[in-house]
Amino acid sequence: MAVTLSQYITQCRRLLHDANGNFYTDQELTDYINGARERVARDTGCLRTLQVSYTPIAPVGYTGTPVAWAANTAVTLNQLIFSNIFTYVVTTAGTTGDDPPPYPQQTGVYPPSTPFANGTAQLQYVGNCEVIPYASLPIS
């Protein structure tokens, strides 16, 4: 349930024992509330939704910008594709499958070292996407 600003102000006034607004104006409380919410989000990374950023980069020895994996899409030889945190190169042109490339299991070899089928295309792991942690994002 979303809390409105007026509900926040009412809660703050109760906590401050200032129900009549004798000590703090609504504008002062609004500034304090906004500052506190911003600090909580910045310090903890707790947002309304999980923010995950991936900046796909071409692994060393490859050129071009990886494109996001999409189901049932035609891919060409040597095209770079990223899915989840991995970047793959297409080793056999074709069409991607219905499901994204599998995430390696603990029992599997990491990183994957052999090409695997995804639809009619063959993909080969070539590197990780660059993951940008929340803490490194600019504060605004």
Angle at 139 between CA 137 and CA 140, to 5 degrees: 125
Angle at 85 between CA 84 and CA 89, to 5 degrees: 90
Contacts of 123 (CB under 8 A, 6+ apart): 81, 88, 89, 90, 91, 101, 115, 116, 117
Report the pLDDT value the prediction gives residue 15, as an integer from 0 to 100. 93
Q: What is the CA radius of gyration of the chain?
A: 24
Per-residue model confidence as pLDDT tens digits over 47-102: 665 555 556 677 778 888 888 888 999 999 999 998 877 888 999 999 999 988 87
Q: How far is 129 from 55, CA to CA, in rounded Å?
A: 6
* b/e per residue 115-130 (b: at least 16 CB within 10 A): beebbebbbebbbbbe
Whole-structure pTM value: 0.52
Contact 86, 107 (CB under 8 A): no
The domain ranges of the chain are 5-44, 53-133
How buried is residue 56: exposed, middle or buried, by Cβ count under 10 Å (0-12/13-18/19+)? buried
Q: How confident is the model at residue 136 (pLDDT cuts 50, 70, 90)?
A: low
